Amino acid sequence: MQSKVGVFRRVLFLFLSVAALSLLFAFAVSAKPVNLIPVYDEGVLQSYYGEVTNGAVYLPFEAFAHANGTPALEESGEGALPSLSASGAELTVTVYPGEAFLCANGRYFYSPELPAYDKDGVLFVPARLLGQAYGLQPVFDEEERTLALVREYHPVGQGETFYDAESLYWLSHIIYAEAGLGEPFEGKVAVGNVVLNRVRDVSTPNTIKEVIFDNRFGIQFSPAYTPVIYEEPNELSVIAAKVCLEGYSIDPDILFFYSPRYAVAEWIESTRPYKFTIGNHRFFA
């Protein structure tokens, strides 16, 4: 169990090559394994190996959690998302095998296309997500060719105080109503991005609820005028809403979307710039 020590800083030295440093931020792609990563915990050397997968550095979650003050592990197979949680005095981190997000004290961090994965019974998680969860800041020493992750002893705040309750309620409900069933997680996030982009747009209302029910130029979100908007959103829809409220954006310009399977929107196709398609939805600026 770790203790608070004012401004005392613990440094965890990750002796990586320059290529591995680039991989940590996904600027390069390599199939080579990461070198031995020594982790200094309370002055004791605890060594384990990382891996390079999908162009990013992955670390073994259980070893990392034990070395960083969250040694109590608990598996959960209940619900739609099996998970493994690591807990300590001030922090609980939950990772989800096969998913590209993790939870830290109720807050969600997302790294698209970099899901956690199991290898020979060891769960590997992207280093970038672990850095966010554990409050680690990267510092690169060019002369020594080393990367240090520095902790300031500011644990992640609690999700229930970080997320505005009304914003989370309406954003998760519209995500569920529009993309909760049958759409990939990235598609759920994109729907949330559309709503938040409209909140920031000067031509649309400035709250999530007002954007959802905006009908000045015709109904913008048809489920908002059906009972489905009040249905309890599923777990992935709530997580997608939290990821959006954390500031993650697939595209800051998307303002419209529709599904050709269920609607005809010639005016969008003819007047708005097409951006991309995710699942059954086409998105436009």
Among residues 117, 120, 123, the alpha carbon closest in space to that of 53 is found at: 117
Same domain for 260 and 135: no
**pLDDT of 131:** 87
Q: What is the mean pLDDT of the chain?
A: 81
Q: Assign 283 a pLDDT band (cuts: 50, 70, 90).
A: very high
For residue 54, the SS3 value is coil
Same domain for 170 and 60: no
The more confidently predicted of residues 264 and 35 is 264
Q: How many other C-beta atoms are found inside a 10 Å radius of the C-beta of residue 190?
A: 28
Q: Assign 279 a pLDDT band (cuts: 50, 70, 90).
A: very high
d(CA 29, CA 23): 7
**pLDDT of 49:** 67
The more confidently predicted of residues 126 and 196 is 196
Last residue of a domain, one of 104, 139, 157: 157
Q: Could you give the strand order of the β-sheet that contains 10-14, starting from the edge strand earlier in sequence?
A: 10-14, 146-151, 136-141
For residue 245, the SS3 value is helix
Q: Where are the beta strands (DSSP E) in 88-152?
A: 92-95, 101-104, 107-110, 117-119, 122-126, 136-141, 146-151
Same domain for 181 and 251: yes
Q: Assign 275 a pLDDT band (cuts: 50, 70, 90).
A: very high
Last residue of a domain, one of 109, 136, 157: 157
Q: Assign 226 a pLDDT band (cuts: 50, 70, 90).
A: very high
Tell me the mean pLDDT in the region 179-187.
Answer: 95
If you compute the radius of gyration of the chain from its CA atoms, what whole number of angstroms results?
Answer: 21
Q: Residue 132: which CATH number? A: 3.30.457.10
Same domain for 192 and 132: no
Assigned domain for 3 exists: no
List pLDDT tens digits, range 98-107: 999 999 999 9
Assigned domain for 5 exists: no
Tell me the mean pLDDT in the region 216-243.
Answer: 94
Assigned domain for 190 exists: yes
Same domain for 151 and 17: yes
Percent of the chain with pLDDT over 70: 75
pTM: 0.81
Q: Residue 41: is its pLDDT beyond 70?
A: no
Last residue of a domain, one of 131, 157, 183: 157
Assigned domain for 60 exists: yes
Assigned domain for 80 exists: yes
Domain count, the chain: 2
Among residues 179, 191, 185, 172, the alpha carbon closest in space to that of 230 is found at: 172
**pLDDT of 139:** 58
Same domain for 183 and 131: no
Same domain for 179 and 134: no
List pLDDT tens digits, range 73-100: 999 976 679 999 999 999 999 999 999 9
Assigned domain for 71 exists: yes
What is the span of the domain harbouring residue 242?
A: 163-284
Same domain for 144 and 15: yes
Pair 241, 248: CB distance under 8 Å: no
Q: Determine the residue type at 147.
A: L
Assigned domain for 131 exists: yes
